[in-house]
Amino acid sequence: MRNPQLNRHGELQHLLTLDGLPREVIISILDHAAPFTEVTEREVKKLPLLRGKSIFNLFFENSTRTRTTFEIAAKRLTADVVNLNVSTSSASKGESLLDTIDNLCAMHADMFVVRHAASGAPVLIAQHLQATGRDHIHVVNAGDGRHAHPTQGLLDMYTIRHYKHDFSQLSIAIVGDVLHSRVARSQIAALTTLGVPDLRVIAPKTLLPSSIESMGVRTFNDMREGLRGVDVIMMLRLQNERMAGALLPSPQEYYKMWGLTAEKLALAKPDAIVMHPGPMNRGVEIDSAVADGSQAVLLPQVTFGIAVRMAVMCMLAGQ
């Protein structure tokens, strides 16, 4: 069966998830992103690759990094960008998601970048566009519920490749609230597709999905054991907004057991890098000395995110 994100020529039509996305497509996005990092260094940071295209940023859930970097990326490609302010839009008067989409289509949208608290919202939009004969309009998932955050996963892959080069040689640990994390799901999908031989997940049992080992990872409840000898540490935020009931004793106890401190970081390889998708909770999942330390690459992740999002939008709708 054809991957619903690819058109009949095998080209990217939508970016909804990294789960099932072919290795060559992931590599192609990373390769396309590389020259865009140089555009960011230029005095004139513009390319005409999306000139005349209208991109609608639809963020039904809060965001700092993703919304802003999508906007910067689209503007650098000379697209016309519309940021829908959901709190002042007619969604707040009860308009359905698909009615909002139909109205924006009537304004000749070329691409929707969608963040939504409901898992599956971007997929629903893509299916609706296809069912109504508007499959020339592209959908990019900017994070839906706990399902997927594909551009975060891709910018994380870009960051790892930048610092560590060869995925087939790496030990990587993902640490924290995997249960509620769309970022972790996208990271695991990409890292397994790219052939990482030693992929570990470190978390309290209450924050691990029951099916986690079927995703091709090894699980650890003891952080010290799990971090031993790894090349990359990918921290996750505690997603309190998605927790129904108390899954943890307290933030202080969580920090003691699963917070990344300099003492725990010393168990990884000496040249290990530390990543975090943001927003981070200092003193809960990561100590400031680590977050601001020489092994942390949190801010390069954000910068690479612009180039990766430029690459995705170009591959979808570029000339």
User: Longest C-alpha distance within the chain, in Å?
Assistant: 57
Which residues in the 57-96 window bind ligand CP by CB under 6 A? 63-66
Question: Between 66 and 171, whose beta carbon lies closer to ligand CP?
Answer: 66
Instruction: Tell me how far, at minimum, the Cβ of 143 lies from ligand CP, in Å.
Output: 6
CB of 240 to ligand CP, least distance (A): 14
Residue 242 touches ligand CP, criterion: CB under 6 A: no
Output the smallest distance, CB 66 to ligand CP, in A. 3
CB-count burial class (<10 Å; 0-12, 13-18, 19+) for 58 = buried
Phi and psi for 173 in degrees, rounded to 5? Answer: -115, 130
If one asks whether residue 45 binds ligand CP (CB under 6 A), the answer comes out as no
Shortest gap between Cβ of 319 and ligand CP (angstroms)?
28
Question: Site size for ligand CP, by CB under 6 A?
Answer: 9
Q: What secondary structure letter does DSSP report for 15?
A: B
Selected binder of ligand CP within 91, 278, 281, 300 (CB under 6 A)? 278
In 3D space, the residue among 287, 240, 245, 238 whose CA is nearest the CA of residue 266 turns out to be 287
Residues whose CB is less than 8 angstroms from the CB of residue 179 and which lie 6 or more positions away in sequence, other chains included: 146, 203, 206, 207, 208, 209, 247
Instruction: Write the CA distances from 176 to 117, 202, 221, integer angstroms.
Output: 20, 6, 10
Return the closest-CA partner of residue 73 out of 90, 49, 96.
49
User: CB of residue 80 vs ligand CP: minimum separation in angstroms?
Assistant: 22
Name which of 277 and 318 has its Cβ closer to ligand CP: 277
Q: Which amino acid is at 50?
A: L
For residue 88, the minimal CB distance to ligand CP (Å) is 20
Site string for ligand CP, 248-277 (x = CB under 6 A): -----------------------------x
List residues near ligand CP by CB under 6 A: 63-66, 143, 152, 277-279
